[in-house]
Amino acid sequence: MAQKDKQNEKTNVMRLLEQKKAAYTAHYYGDTGAVGGEEAAAALGVDPARMFKTLVTVAGSREHYVFLVPVARELDLKKAAKAVGEKSIEMIPQKALLPLTGYIHGGCSPIGMKKPFRTVIDRSAEAFGTILFSAGKIGYQVETSLGELRKVIDFGLGDIC
């Protein structure tokens, strides 16, 4: 596939945003060699504080939760558990990600998972007009506001880093 075609390719995340009439901007960085979130932010010329990674967890209750945190920061598991009213929480094993969400590691998006999970976005997102997160495929990001994102998924905000 030619470079121009890849830049114009639509992912399921983009289709879902359009279906809900949520405004977004698509970004493609797949040809830059970026492998991590901070590298992807640099490739796109974006402040890493505005680019969020999607993390899937499981609580002691066996409930699954999704957290979005800036790519340069780490999820604080104690704060995350408190944010969702659980005693403890841990990251799911990488091999469990695809069967649970339908996404592979590095391409996981809070939009379009096999089933909806309670989602919490780090409160730092409120400081920006728009944030970026995975468009559901490695090399693709979508940029949207929290207001537009709310048209597609339900989420809360919390101090989770």
Cross-sheet strand order for the sheet of 140-144: 25-28, 140-144, 131-134
Q: Are 122 and 158 in contact (CB under 8 A)?
A: yes
pLDDT of residue 32: 81
CATH number of the structural domain spanning residue 32: 3.90.960.10
Number of domains in the chain: 1
User: By the 8 A CB rule, do 120 and 80 touch?
Assistant: yes
Confidence check: pLDDT of 20 > 70: yes
| β-pairing verdict for 140-144 and 25-28 | antiparallel
Local structure of residue 156 (DSSP, 8 states)? E
What are phi and psi for residue 20, nearest 5 degrees? -90, 5
Query: At residue 3, does pLDDT exceed 50?
Result: no
**Distance (Å, whole) CA 53 – CA 74:** 10
Separation CA 62–CA 92 (nearest Å):
10
**Model's pTM, two decimal places?**
0.94
Query: For the chain, what percent of residues have pLDDT higher than 70?
Result: 96
The larger pLDDT score, comparing residue 7 to residue 117, is at 117
pLDDT (0 to 100) of residue 2? 44
pLDDT at site 6: 63
- Domain housing 154: 3-158
Confidence of residue 151 (pLDDT cuts 50, 70, 90): very high
Query: Average pLDDT in the 14-42 region?
Result: 92
Residue 30 confidence class, pLDDT cut points 50, 70, 90 = confident
Range from 5-9, 47-51, 106-110 carrying the lowest mean pLDDT:
5-9
